């Protein structure tokens, strides 16, 4: 049995390295099929608990993360996506989710501008909704450990 997502499943983004990450909106019903092994939840308020390993990143809608560990959590999700089903979600699954997915694409080797276009072209064309979300991605940098 596979421990990663089906590449054709709804919301699944294949990063350039082949890592698969599912983005979704928490206001929508959970998709059928396998559940995540790890969830990265981007919310202004603590999301409901889930029966899998998860992290909450404090992040008000349309703004930037207020959680000082946000970048570390993006790196954890990116690493785990190499071998596990990782889900990234905010309320609608567009702005904050798209921003986090673009940061993961930067970790995957794309430039920030390439990452934004990649996520918009392969996940949701509305991803990365605000100028400050674009700014955040452009200032997100991989570390030597990535």
**What pTM does this model have?**
0.95
d(CA 41, CA 22): 12
| Structure confidence at residue 2 (pLDDT) | 61
Report, as an integer, the average pLDDT of 121-143.
94
- Are 97 and 87 within 8 A, CB to CB? no
Convert the pLDDT of each residue in 31-49 to its tens digit.
Answer: 989 999 999 999 999 999 9
| Within a domain: 7 | no
Q: What percentage of residues in the chain have a pLDDT greater than 70?
A: 97
CATH number, domain containing residue 22: 3.90.190.10
| Structure confidence at residue 3 (pLDDT) | 85
| Structure confidence at residue 142 (pLDDT) | 78
Convert the pLDDT of each residue in 53-101 to its tens digit.
Answer: 999 999 999 999 999 999 999 999 999 999 999 999 999 999 999 999 9
| Within a domain: 146 | no
Per the structure, the complete domain to which residue 103 belongs is given by 12-138
| Within a domain: 5 | no
| Within a domain: 47 | yes
| Structure confidence at residue 60 (pLDDT) | 95
For the chain, helix (H) and strand (E) counts, in that order, are: 4, 5
The number of domains in the chain is 1
Report, as an integer, the average pLDDT of 124-132.
96
Angle between helices 112-122 and 95-107 (to 10 degrees): 130
| Within a domain: 3 | no
| Within a domain: 1 | no
| Structure confidence at residue 97 (pLDDT) | 98
| Structure confidence at residue 1 (pLDDT) | 46
Nearest to 43, CA basis, from 92, 103, 105, 106: 92
| Within a domain: 6 | no
Q: Is the pLDDT of residue 145 over 80?
A: no
- Are 61 and 95 within 8 A, CB to CB? yes
d(CA 91, CA 48): 12
| Within a domain: 143 | no
Report, as an integer, the average pLDDT of 120-132.
97
Q: Is the pLDDT of residue 128 over 90?
A: yes
Mean of pLDDT over the chain: 95
| Structure confidence at residue 146 (pLDDT) | 63
């Amino acid at each position: 049995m596979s421990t990663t997502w089906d590449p054709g499943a709804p919301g699944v983004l294949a990063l350039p390295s082949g890592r698969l990450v599912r983005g979704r909106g928490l206001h929508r019903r959970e998709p059928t099929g396998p559940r995540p092994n790890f969830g990265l939840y981007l919310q202004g308020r603590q999301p409901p608990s889930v029966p899998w390993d998860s992290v909450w990143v404090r992040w008000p809608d349309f703004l930037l993360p207020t959680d000082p560990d946000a970048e570390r959590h993006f790196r954890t999700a990116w690493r785990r996506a190499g071998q596990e089903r990782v889900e990234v979600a905010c309320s609608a699954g567009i702005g904050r989710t798209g921003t986090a997915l673009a940061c993961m694409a930067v970790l995957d080797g794309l430039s920030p501008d390439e990452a934004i276009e990649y996520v918009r072209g392969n996940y949701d064309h509305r991803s990365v909704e605000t100028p400050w979300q674009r700014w955040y991605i452009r200032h997100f940098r991989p570390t030597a450990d990535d």
